Amino acid sequence: MEYFPFPNLSEIALKSEEELKSIIRQLIYGLEYLHKHNLCHRDIKPENILYDQKEGRLKIIDFGISKKIFLHGARRDMLTIIGTNFYFAPEIYIGGGYDEKVDIWALGVTIYKLITGYTPFESDYHSDTITNILKGELRFDE
């Protein structure tokens, strides 16, 4: 069993808006770095982000389904529906391929979950979650 010395983002309670802003900033820079190096993570979610609260630093982990990005003209070469469905971008379900922008979508879903405690398109049924993602129907609680 692997040991990680820091909790992931789903296991912590954020202390302030400043802490949330720091986390978001680091995630944006982390994804920018990956994408500049032609790597798409494909499973960005709180469980795949370790957080050292003492130092305020993040580590993106679990690159098991990441993929090197190859763009051939306008064609996108990633076709596999892989990752965690609550964080999927619509283009993953639509078909025709996708690119690294799916990581940005998943980042938005991750931020939403950090703020609200749940993902925006979440439903009790997988098929309803897919429909919510494709239609852009967000869940807002009072």
Q: Give me the amino acid identity at 50.
A: L
Closest CA to 106 of 123, 125, 95, 119: 119
**Residue 4 tokens, joined:** 């990680």
Q: Among all residues, which ones are annotated catalytic?
A: 43
In-domain check, residue 142: no
In-domain check, residue 48: yes
Q: Give me the amino acid identity at 88.
A: F
In-domain check, residue 141: no
* Tally of domains within the chain: 1
> Quick count: other Cβ atoms within 10 Å of Cβ 139?
13
pTM, full prediction = 0.89
In-domain check, residue 10: no
Q: What is the pLDDT of residue 114?
A: 92
In-domain check, residue 21: yes
Mean pLDDT rounded to a whole number for the chain: 89
Q: What is the pLDDT of residues 71-115, one digit of tens each?
A: 665 556 788 889 999 999 999 999 888 999 999 999 999 999 999
| Domain region containing 44 | 15-135
Closest CA to 102 of 25, 44, 49, 28: 44
**Residue 101 tokens, joined:** 């922008």
Question: 27: buried, middle or exposed (CB in 10 Å: 19+, 13-18, 0-12)?
Answer: buried
- Rounded-to-integer distance, Cα 11 and Cα 8, Å: 6
In-domain check, residue 5: no
CA dihedral 47, 30, 80, 136 (to 10 degrees): 80
